[in-house]
Amino acid sequence: MPKVLISDKMDPQAAKIFRERGVEVDEITGKTPDELKAIIGEYDGLAIRSSTKVTKDILSAATNLKVVGRAGIGVDNVDIPAASAAGVVVMNTPFGNSITTAEHAIALMFALARDLPEADKSTQAGKWEKNRFMGVEVTSKTLGLIGAGNIGSIVADRALGLKMKVVAYDPFLTPERAQDMGVEKVELDQLLARADFITLHTPLTEQTRNILSAENLAKTKKGVRIVNCARGGLIDEAALKAGLDSGHIAGAALDVFVTEPAKESPLFGTPNFISTPHLGASTTEAQVNVAIQVAEQMADFLVSGGVTNALNMPSLSAEEAPKLKPYMALAEKLGSLVGQLAHDALTGLAIEVEGAAAELNQKPITGAVLAGLMRVYSDTVNMVNAPTLAKERGLDVREVRHDREGDYHTLVRVTVDTKAGPKSVAGTLFGNASPRLTEIFGIKVEADLDGAMLYIVNEDAPGFIGRLGTTLGEAGVNIGTFHLGRRTAGGEAVLLLSVDTRVDEALLAKVQGLPGVKQVKALGF
């Protein structure tokens, strides 16, 4: 039974779903990094929000970990390259809290427009300062959206409903999408110059860090009001404070800070500054949504291999997973075979599918080939880290899908580019379930690739098989299965034997010494 740790506060629906789906679950929140490190080795899955930091150090102790599930959107608290290198899938729930966060941005915009927190404080202090608070309308004002993805587009929709004009800066926003959204796509400088309100909705990346820098804040319209419900670090907090103090910025509302929890900040106490403690996603509805989604996605992965919303692996639905499973086994065996026989000076490889295989999602097949192939270099390789390892080695990976009838109802072929030219192996599924090799380096041979095997290339000549059988027999090695193929009668032949005991170096040398033997190699699957 797979075991998951929920390490941040999550709606109880998550634990309920894990248990219903046959996953054991512990809910232990508030652990320090050292405490988490001490227990993480027990778990196959880790379900988090934004508090738990999944660092390289934590991952180094996570010896059983297969998946990190983020009940929410931002994954900047997860070291994704380190997770990928450790073969851990990282998934999030990209839509579950979008409406809630967009509503928080709109709420903060209104709070700024009418100075609601301060008005509330003064009223409850018995001051009744009716003449102190003079707000602004949002109707007909220009809202500048920085980032027009899921949340930004919901904010735009709500703002248009409030009769605002919306301009958006997002380099990935197409003109067609902007038109559909009813917003005007602009450059950042135009947005800064025109917006009465600015809301930020981008992830924190090297491109977006300090996107509202001192220089950019100076380009904003005097009296601008700024809302950040995305990520701390998008705004230079010191420059924001200076802009509020000088009166150039009429108000700012931050839900997120460079350092969280933000127990102190120069911004605290600044007039016209409002803050909330990273509450963007904190509604009952959003928390139920993300808890259900993360538990379903993680359980799908741990129980049936389905992959949804992964950031470091292609998607694979829970319905596709069982169909693809035998193909992934075949692909991994073919990758492993070429890896064991032809891994020297590889520059690239092509993975071709035809027949029934061509109707499936090819990405998991490619991932499995790479996992099998890269295992020659590292025994901690799996489908998550294999593509990165292949990239690091500069391998050119090509996927080809053939729309043609071949000799087999379904076929996967792996061709590696070697110094000696392309070398190809192919395989099919017997009974749609059982992987079978059909061709090795241009020679037709039908073989199971299973357990300990011997690969022998020899000259096709009478008496060889007898001599080989005697040599192995005298060494106490029992032959399980025996598969033979040849290029031409009397030409080059290939033998694939499964053996019940490991063939040691001394015996390999003996076989290599038999007349007509060109190559001998012990294989393992």
Ligand X SMILES: O=C(O)[C@H](O)COP(=O)(O)O
Which token pair is 523?
Answer: 């294989």
Q: Which residue has the tokens 């030219």?
A: 421
Residue 25 touching ligand X (CB under 6 A): no
The entry of ligand X, ligand NAD, none that residue 169 binds, CB within 5 to 8 Å by partner kind:
ligand NAD
The entry of ligand NAD, ligand X, none that residue 170 binds, CB within 5 to 8 Å by partner kind:
ligand NAD
Query: Residue 210 — left, alpha, or beta (φ > 0 → left; ψ -120 to 50 → alpha)?
Result: left
Question: Which residue in 14, 73, 226, 383 binds ligand NAD (CB under 6 A)?
Answer: 73
Specify the residue, 76 or 450, whose C-beta has the smaller distance to ligand X.
76
Q: x/- contact string, 163-192, with ligand NAD (CB under 6 A)? A: ------xxxx--------------------
Residue 104 touching ligand X (CB under 6 A): no
The entry of ligand X, ligand NAD, none that residue 87 binds, CB within 5 to 8 Å by partner kind:
none
Residue type at 211? I
The entry of ligand X, ligand NAD, none that residue 49 binds, CB within 5 to 8 Å by partner kind:
ligand X
The entry of ligand X, ligand NAD, none that residue 358 binds, CB within 5 to 8 Å by partner kind:
none
Specify the residue, 171 or 515, whose C-beta has the smaller distance to ligand NAD.
171
- Closest approach of ligand X to the CB of residue 138, in Å: 25
Specify the residue, 287 or 382, whose C-beta has the smaller distance to ligand NAD.
287
Residue 49 touching ligand X (CB under 6 A): yes
Query: Can you list the alpha helix ranges (DSSP code H) found in 457-497?
Result: 464-474
The entry of ligand NAD, ligand X, none that residue 331 binds, CB within 5 to 8 Å by partner kind:
none
- Closest approach of ligand NAD to the CB of residue 181, in Å: 11
What is the b/e burial string over 495-506, where b = at least 16 CB atoms within 10 angstroms of the residue's CB? bbbbbeeebeee
Q: Compute CA distances 98 → 49, 277, 499, whole Å.
A: 15, 17, 57
- Return the half-sphere exposure (C-beta side, CA atoms, 13 A cut-off) of residue 455: 21
Q: Residues 263 to 302: which contact ligand X by CB under 6 A?
A: 278, 280-282
Q: Is residue 445 within 8 Å of 426, Cβ to Cβ?
A: no
- Closest approach of ligand NAD to the CB of residue 441, in Å: 46
Specify the residue, 177 or 323, whose C-beta has the smaller distance to ligand NAD.
177
Q: Is residue 204 within 8 Å of 228, Cβ to Cβ?
A: no
By annotation, the residues acting in catalysis are 231, 260, 278
Q: x/- contact string, 64-103, with ligand X (CB under 6 A)? A: --------xxx----------------------x------
The entry of ligand NAD, ligand X, none that residue 339 binds, CB within 5 to 8 Å by partner kind:
none
The whole-angstrom separation of Cα 373 and Cα 336 is 5
Residue type at 63? T
The entry of ligand NAD, ligand X, none that residue 213 binds, CB within 5 to 8 Å by partner kind:
none
Residue 50 touching ligand X (CB under 6 A): yes
Q: Is residue 94 within 8 Å of 150, Cβ to Cβ?
A: yes
Total binding residues toward ligand NAD, as defined by CB under 6 A: 31
Beta strand pairing status for 165-169 and 142-146?
parallel
Q: Is residue 189 within 8 Å of 144, Cβ to Cβ?
A: no
Burial of 190 (0-12, 13-18, 19+ CB in 10 A): middle
Residue type at 197? F
Specify the residue, 72 or 387, whose C-beta has the smaller distance to ligand X.
72
Is the Cα dihedral 454, 458, 460, 464 positive or negative?
A: negative
The whole-angstrom separation of Cα 353 and Cα 223 is 61
The whole-angstrom separation of Cα 155 and Cα 146 is 11
Specify the residue, 202 or 418, whose C-beta has the smaller distance to ligand NAD.
202
Length of the chain: 525
Q: Is residue 426 within 8 Å of 334, Cβ to Cβ?
A: yes
Residue 151 touching ligand NAD (CB under 6 A): yes
Residue type at 30? G
Residue closest to ligand X (Cβ): 72
Q: Residues 382 to 441: which contact ligand NAD by CB under 6 A?
A: none
Beta strand pairing status for 492-499 and 452-459?
antiparallel
Residue 520 touching ligand NAD (CB under 6 A): no
Question: Which residue in 96, 149, 232, 387 binds ligand NAD (CB under 6 A)?
Answer: 149
- Closest approach of ligand NAD to the CB of residue 8, in Å: 13
DSSP code of 305?
Answer: -
Q: Residues 358 to 417: which contact ligand X by CB under 6 A?
A: none
The entry of ligand X, ligand NAD, none that residue 354 binds, CB within 5 to 8 Å by partner kind:
none
The whole-angstrom separation of Cα 146 and Cα 153 is 11
Total binding residues toward ligand X, as defined by CB under 6 A: 10
Residue closest to ligand NAD (Cβ): 149
Three-state SS for 491? Answer: coil
Question: Which residue in 86, 109, 148, 376 binds ligand NAD (CB under 6 A)?
Answer: 148
Q: Which residue has the tokens 């899921």?
A: 150
Q: Is residue 196 within 8 Å of 137, Cβ to Cβ?
A: no
Quickly list DSSP for 83-108. Answer: HHHTT-EEEE-SSTTHHHHHHHHHHH
- Closest approach of ligand X to the CB of residue 338, in Å: 41
Q: Residues 197 to 256: which contact ligand NAD by CB under 6 A?
A: 201-203, 205, 207-208, 229-231, 255-256
The whole-angstrom separation of Cα 315 and Cα 364 is 8
- Closest approach of ligand NAD to the CB of residue 193, in Å: 16
List contacts with ligand X (CB under 6 A). 49-50, 72-74, 97, 278, 280-282
List contacts with ligand NAD (CB under 6 A). 73-74, 94, 97-98, 101, 146-152, 169-172, 201-203, 205, 207-208, 229-231, 255-256, 278, 280-281
